[in-house]
Amino acid sequence: MGFVADFKAFALKGNVIDMAVGVVIGGAFGKIVTAVVDDIIMPLVGMVSGNTKFTDKFAVLGAGKDGATSFKTLEEAKAAGANVLAYGHLIQSIVDFFIIALCIFVAIKQIAKLNKKEEPAPAVPEVSSTDKLLMEIRDALKK
């Protein structure tokens, strides 16, 4: 078999196609969750934490070009050429990750619940008259 035939056999397997569909849907799902986090959850968290965004959190490590060490915003500090540790973006990314992971976990649990098939209870076979008679004989012999 040649390279093209091998690749065609690989690419047309059901698992590869399922994975590709999963990646596309996952990308779209990620955008939805990111929108929920950025536009709904984080503003509420910011309101609780004093109307500050996590992405605006930073620490000045070195003075700016003009010697200033105090800045109101991260953009202002960067524009002044200060050496800053912008830890807020990391916090935001961690929060995003946990919320996305939670949403995916819930979605997978719901899909698994929908896919779970109810197994019917095993049918109890009807006992024939011969079997009933044999059971009575057995029980009489035990006595």
Q: Is residue 108 situated within a structural domain?
A: yes
Residue 62's Cβ-count burial label (10 Å; 0-12, 13-18, 19+) is: exposed
Q: Is residue 68 situated within a structural domain?
A: no
HSE (side-chain half, CA atoms, 13 Å) at 73? 5
CATH code assigned at 114: 1.10.1200
What phi and psi values does residue 87 have, to the nearest 5 degrees?
Answer: -80, -15
Please tell me the pTM assigned to this model.
Answer: 0.52
Share above pLDDT 70 across residues of the chain, in percent, rounded to a whole number: 94
Cβ count within 10 A of residue 64? 19
Q: Is residue 17 situated within a structural domain?
A: yes
Q: Is residue 80 situated within a structural domain?
A: no
Q: Is residue 106 situated within a structural domain?
A: yes
Q: Is residue 99 situated within a structural domain?
A: yes
Q: Is residue 30 situated within a structural domain?
A: yes
Say how many domains are in the chain. Answer: 1
Residues with Cβ within 8 Å of 49's Cβ and at least 6 positions away in sequence, in order, are none
pLDDT band at 98 (very low <50, low <70, confident <90, very high): confident
Q: What is the mean pLDDT of the chain?
A: 81
pLDDT tens for each residue of 43-72: 887 788 776 667 778 888 888 788 888 888
Question: Which residues in the chain belong to E strands, given as ranges?
Answer: 59-62, 83-85
Provide the token pair at 129: 């008259």
pLDDT at 14: 65
Structural domain containing residue 98: 3-52+87-142
Lowest mean pLDDT among 7-16, 18-27, 29-38: 7-16
Q: Is residue 61 situated within a structural domain?
A: no
Query: Span 4-29, mean pLDDT?
Result: 78
Cβ count within 10 A of residue 42? 19
pLDDT tens for each residue of 103-136: 778 878 888 888 777 667 677 778 888 888 888 8
